[in-house]
Structure 1
């Protein structure tokens, strides 16, 4: 490796091509450790070595020990769960990886005096890297030059205040530029960088919080405690029963009960619904960084929008400039051009001004010697020119004297018309850096135009119809923001609230929250106030989504329940957001909402099916334990019932369209339906079984067939009940499942395999009455319970 003293780096021109090639050959490249995603082995283990698979496998061994291999049909769920789960997760991982490449941060390096955009992995040791507002710092380094450079290290340290950086200061990977610009030299790359070391310490794949997953896991945890003791007690009771002749039959009945108690497909269908949702969004160039991101927006009841880049296209066009009385127009144009030329990294606003006001002739004497870049907190930028004083450009509210009513009236008239308004002001004397001078002379009013997205009104109307509260939060003039919001159809946008008039969140959170609740449009909001607004609404029980594309949105995006970033926004916003709209299409959000609703509502339906099955199995176990009779079903018969009334239809329900409104209380609602429905179905099947079994000349197979028909009928009505509102395809699905069961009964091979023996006429009457009673019961009883036990 060549020593740096022998191989010097020009801190103004960067590395040469030869120096880059040398470092690559030495292996001094930024090989960043992979993100903490599950490897193939971990995916296989996670989908194969599950509690459900362990229980089913144990029951499989027990049924073989009992000598009934034909009853081991239920073991196929282990294979199907594992194979489908692995394949779908691999597919999702591949799809997301392709999108993550598009979303990956870029680095701008200076090589041979030219700025070159690189992938992060292409950065080499001693690289001279360029920084501008919104850039993510991709490797550790030392600042070489800085123009008002402020760095936000909150993602690393948790400290929200930006840190000013001067030449010689260290910058850490994982932080980002909040304002200003500069150059820095890479000193620690790859695994040696600060962010990489932090990531290595936490290299554990962790699923994000999810109400759905938490509810499903709670159900599984309860059943894990219920199944073993219930099965053991049933086995003991069967062994001690005079009606069960052999221990093999007792074990067979116990396995049948345990198999029915296990919600074998619930975890699979839950994961499958999430994965299909993520893949569906990926096709629309929406990168959901976690599987549960598709659930979050569906639960959101408050959507906070940053005006620029969301309601508007983000494209800023120059309107005009109006010199104030007594100010020469050519002088104003020269000053604006000089301001633009002095900023090495002009933002979109200054770039629009530059297009109409080119830099003045070098001989004109506009020599910049001190620059203060734009900051979202200050709301202005400034440059001092030798012999000319300091020129300020920014928000009129900050750069115009409160007593200057005439100038303020001009600003208001333009802002009310929807224009973005800036003011150019001048101050004599020495430049005071980030401190605003006491005396400023306004020179001109500059108007800029935002283009409202053509579909903004339609999209916001959609969210309003879905019960989502819209808040527009911007750093622009309140009147301008309100005018744009009105054009987009935001309710309550008759006027905008000036965030400078809000109470302080830290000292009076209650009053601050009342003001945030009362208004829909806010202007002149600082980054810290955006964050405080999110926290305030969350403290009042709101589920908040925040959209943004600029560095001033990062704090709020990070704290929101769901952060949504635009693909062409700053790399810092993309880094903290849960959802990135890579093609910048605001119209994708309704599709995200629809996917989330589909996932939540369909998983609730599927959960109702599986928990009803577990409930009637537990209740049947209790009834059989009390009666001491042989178990009413063989394992293969319960597999048949579960497949036709739960497994196959559950697969279709989990992936079907469903955009119903999402209500809180998932777990409570599932239990409120499933427990009474399961008790009704189990009771009906047991009563039919016992009545038929005690009839003259009836063999056990006939009684079990009657119970199977009854329970299947109840299961199909459970399917119809949870599928409401009914549609033709849902009724057809239930009818198709019933037809398959008829085929099983009619075809001798299947009838013999499942040990189904058709009952006689009297037995049929009892069976039909029982099936009708069960069907009516599972439709009506849960509805009565729902009225008696409300959601809250």
Structure 2
């Protein structure tokens, strides 16, 4: 494309570019769209939980092998298979997610524009060389640093670097820095600091990085793991000390102690959380949704307020000129010619000017070649653009309620048109106008009426969020009447009560009160969108914000979840956590569903793993206290009831296998807060209800059959399995056919192990007799009753 600049400099030649490439003066800052393979392997292989399980497995295998042979040792170390499963499944899913992220990030990547050999060329930002002249227009990110060479009212937003919301006008010689973006005007700057030398290069790239940002889900799981790590060591020591009375069987004591420690570790919880996130990335990727930060998957599931920018979200990107209506007394031909001159003078036409240009082209209106003195580019803060011509005066195009006096008949006519859902601009002449000093001597010449294209799926999508209890706030820079009319067409509640943002209260508390009541806002400036987000967050809301323009960047950055449109500005896409690459607003319900699947299923899986941890800790404490008491009373030692092979069997059919299916199952339950509290409210009573009957049944069977028999451990194993399976059945609700099948297969598999002699011998169990079966049945019955009462039918005041 030919440069629209008036620069005498033609930029670098092809030969000069080749010289700089040869010298390595290229913008080669690394772009990490996802974790590299080495990091994925390292994260899956070398984890604290894997290390602990590996050590415990080595102990169990080694001490068993000394007395019973290597094969018996391997049998007791079967629980270490979870390490292999963790590594294999986690690595495979992360690699699949990496491929998806890399592919989508490439689609989301914006080219840079450079002036070379007198033409503006679009190139990959990594191909910028030192001394390139970089061309920028509204919405472009600044990807390298350097001084401005030419400026046509160029304004740069540096809020991501400095925190200052007001755009900064740039004149020749002023510096621009990477991490900022253009909001108005056009310009050329020379690339001097490139690659790793550029200011805030990391800031620019972080927006597309495979990042594990703040996540309530991950933080909660990490809190569980830290707590368990603190508990394991003292409980393990107490368990070992309690077994020392039986010093003659010290090897078996150590192996049984390992069996007591292993179930305390939620070994698969981190794995399944990572897998659920990774699968979420893959599923959303298939819908052309780029998740730039993984916790964004859970973000929209937690959202209770969704702020929508009308243009580009509820409406499609383009628009069409409905009519150009000259004001009484205006020369119709002069209006058309003036619009053609404004279009010709605009280096970077926005969608409105593009629609006007298309309309003029259809009617054969040519550029009159008026001589330009000054171009005033459109700004979302000013709401108008214009040009000062040498012989034809100053012409402006912008919002009627900004350019015209309040009460002006033309402004009232514009309001009537806007109330019909049309977008209306005023074409005026002015005695003087500047981007800093305002406008004087305005005379209206025409109204430009545009028809916006509503998204066909917008109404259904808004109805979905209403049904799900998510409040929607529609905020736009358009006139309140126009925004309200669009909202009414889409069936939004409160569309008749629009709020003009120019009369918003300054006090944050008053603003928050208004936002709680109102739904539709017009004439909203960029910094006000940011204030909206902060005010809603101050009332405890989780806020998601959608947008596509540079005026949305501040709000997107501060929202709990920023959602950008794929065709939007590079600046908007760079700060959003989620990018809808196909611009389809109707995709958002799928993002919500995916978030709910992750949150709901990881909550279920966490219930299972923490229940296991609680009953393992409880049993270890019961055995330790019982063994010490028996030793003090001079009675026979009280051995731990299980070997590692028993725990492997119970864990496989009550947690390992079902948790994998539950973690990836579809679910549409609404996200609930207080993840840690909710999981503990289930796991603690469930774990105790499993541990207490198991311990009592074990004591009774031990007193009846003695320590030399396998019946006590078989009876205890049956009791614990039945109770843990009951907890699984409660967690799996609500039921569909495959969940019934899952629970049934797990139960049948355990029964088969106990009933089939070769399998029972392998797992060192034996079929119980009438007495043991009766004791186990009583224990299971009491435990199931307690589980059902505390977790299902207990009074509501106890649940709360």
TM-score, L = length of structure 2:
0.93
When structure 1 is superposed on structure 2, of 297-306 and 693-702 the one drifting more is 693-702
Alignment partner of 1:144 is 2:149: yes
1:593: Cα distance to partner? 0.4
Tell me the alpha carbon deviations over residues 357-396 of structure 1, each in whole angstroms, 9 at most, x when there is no partner. 359767x572221111111111111211113321111111
User: What does 1:390-409 correspond to in 2, within 5 Å?
Assistant: 390-404=394-408, 406-409=409-412
**Correspondence for 1:314:** 317
Say whether the 8 Å CA contact 1:713–1:774 is kept in structure 2: no
Say whether the 8 Å CA contact 1:15–1:127 is kept in structure 2: yes
User: What does 1:661-672 correspond to in 2, within 5 Å?
Assistant: 661-672=670-681
Aligned pair partner of 2:440 in 425, 434, 438 = 438
Alignment partner of 1:160 is 2:165: yes
User: What does 1:528-677 correspond to in 2, within 5 Å?
Assistant: 528-628=527-627, 629-677=638-686
2:662 partner SS:
helix
When structure 1 is superposed on structure 2, of 781-790 and 393-402 the one drifting more is 781-790
1:16: Cα distance to partner? 2.7
Alignment partner of 1:421 is 2:424: yes
Aligned pair partner of 1:351 in 350, 354, 358 = 354
Tell me the alpha carbon deviations over residues 273-311 of structure 1, each in whole angstroms, 9 at most, x when there is no partner. 111111111111111012211111100111011111111
Tell me the alpha carbon deviations over residues 237-269 of structure 1, each in whole angstroms, 9 at most, x when there is no partner. 11126xx75112221221111011111111111
1:402 partner SS:
coil
**Correspondence for 1:517:** 516
User: What does 1:679-694 correspond to in 2, within 5 Å?
Assistant: 679-694=688-703
Alignment partner of 1:767 is 2:776: yes
1:82: Cα distance to partner? 2.0
Tell me the alpha carbon deviations over residues 484-513 of structure 1, each in whole angstroms, 9 at most, x when there is no partner. 111122221123211001012xxx111111
Change (3 A) 1:610 1:78: same
1:696: Cα distance to partner? 5.3
**Correspondence for 2:635:** none
1:184 partner SS:
strand
Task: Give the distance between the partners of 1:142 and 1:697, measured in 2 at CA.
Answer: 87
Task: Give the distance between the partners of 1:407 and 1:725, measured in 2 at CA.
Answer: 61
Alignment partner of 1:169 is 2:178: no
1:22: Cα distance to partner? 3.1
Alignment partner of 1:380 is 2:384: yes
User: What does 1:82-231 correspond to in 2, within 5 Å?
Assistant: 82-196=87-201, 207-231=212-236
Tell me the alpha carbon deviations over residues 636-674 of structure 1, each in whole angstroms, 9 at most, x when there is no partner. 101110110001000000000011111111111110011
2:648 partner SS:
helix
Q: CA RMSD in A?
A: 2.2
1:199: Cα distance to partner? 7.5
Change (3 A) 1:549 1:145: same
Task: Give the distance between the partners of 2:721 and 2:25, measured in 1 at CA.
Answer: 67
**Correspondence for 1:6:** none
Tell me the alpha carbon deviations over residues 9-28 of structure 1, each in whole angstroms, 9 at most, x when there is no partner. 98543233333333333333
When structure 1 is superposed on structure 2, of 527-536 and 90-99 the one drifting more is 90-99
1:131: Cα distance to partner? 1.1
Tell me the alpha carbon deviations over residues 41-84 of structure 1, each in whole angstroms, 9 at most, x when there is no partner. 33222222222112212212322343251311111112221222
Alignment partner of 1:502 is 2:501: no
Unaligned runs of 5+ in 1: 1-8
Task: Give the distance between the partners of 1:357 and 1:200, measured in 2 at CA.
Answer: 41
When structure 1 is superposed on structure 2, of 105-114 and 129-138 the one drifting more is 105-114
Task: Give the distance between the partners of 1:373 and 1:289, measured in 2 at CA.
Answer: 32
Alignment partner of 1:329 is 2:332: yes
When structure 1 is superposed on structure 2, of 77-86 and 468-477 the one drifting more is 77-86
**Correspondence for 2:474:** 472
Task: Give the distance between the partners of 1:313 and 1:723, measured in 2 at CA.
Answer: 42
Task: Give the distance between the partners of 2:552 and 2:794, measured in 1 at CA.
Answer: 46
Tell me the alpha carbon deviations over residues 291-339 of structure 1, each in whole angstroms, 9 at most, x when there is no partner. 2111111001110111111111111111111111111111111111111
Unaligned runs of 5+ in 2: 1-5, 66-72, 628-637
Count of matched residue positions in the alignment of Structure 1 and Structure 2: 775
**Correspondence for 1:288:** 291
Change (3 A) 1:452 1:118: same
Task: Give the distance between the partners of 2:474 and 2:553, measured in 1 at CA.
Answer: 16
1:697: Cα distance to partner? 7.3
**Correspondence for 1:747:** 756
Say whether the 8 Å CA contact 2:33–2:102 is kept in structure 1: no
Change (3 A) 1:197 1:593: closer
Say whether the 8 Å CA contact 1:144–1:182 is kept in structure 2: yes
When structure 1 is superposed on structure 2, of 701-710 and 19-28 the one drifting more is 19-28
Tell me the alpha carbon deviations over residues 461-481 of structure 1, each in whole angstroms, 9 at most, x when there is no partner. 111111100010100011111
Task: Give the distance between the partners of 1:582 and 1:698, measured in 2 at CA.
Answer: 66
Alignment partner of 1:778 is 2:787: yes
Alignment partner of 1:708 is 2:707: no
Task: Give the distance between the partners of 2:17 and 2:186, measured in 1 at CA.
Answer: 24
1:34: Cα distance to partner? 3.2
1:351: Cα distance to partner? 1.2
Task: Give the distance between the partners of 1:487 and 1:204, measured in 2 at CA.
Answer: 39
When structure 1 is superposed on structure 2, of 701-710 and 16-25 the one drifting more is 16-25
Change (3 A) 1:16 1:467: same
Say whether the 8 Å CA contact 1:672–1:786 is kept in structure 2: no
1:357 partner SS:
helix
Say whether the 8 Å CA contact 1:479–1:495 is kept in structure 2: no
Change (3 A) 1:143 1:697: closer
Change (3 A) 1:779 1:708: same
Aligned pair partner of 2:25 in 9, 28, 43 = 28
Change (3 A) 1:468 1:62: same
**Correspondence for 2:59:** 62
When structure 1 is superposed on structure 2, of 709-718 and 23-32 the one drifting more is 23-32
Task: Give the distance between the partners of 2:615 and 2:545, measured in 1 at CA.
Answer: 44
1:294 partner SS:
helix
Change (3 A) 1:511 1:254: same
Tell me the alpha carbon deviations over residues 583-636 of structure 1, each in whole angstroms, 9 at most, x when there is no partner. 111111111100000000000000000000011111111211122111111111
1:102: Cα distance to partner? 1.0
Task: Give the distance between the partners of 1:202 and 1:365, measured in 2 at CA.
Answer: 43
Change (3 A) 1:197 1:286: closer
Change (3 A) 1:585 1:111: same
Change (3 A) 1:785 1:47: farther
2:734 partner SS:
coil
Task: Give the distance between the partners of 1:433 and 1:665, measured in 2 at CA.
Answer: 50
Task: Give the distance between the partners of 1:524 and 1:704, measured in 2 at CA.
Answer: 74
Task: Give the distance between the partners of 1:91 and 1:676, measured in 2 at CA.
Answer: 38
Say whether the 8 Å CA contact 1:478–1:495 is kept in structure 2: no
1:109 partner SS:
strand
Task: Give the distance between the partners of 2:203 and 2:556, measured in 1 at CA.
Answer: 21
Change (3 A) 1:321 1:113: same
Change (3 A) 1:489 1:331: same
Aligned pair partner of 1:340 in 339, 343, 346 = 343
**Correspondence for 1:42:** 39
Alignment partner of 1:719 is 2:728: yes
Alignment partner of 1:78 is 2:83: yes
**Correspondence for 1:527:** 526
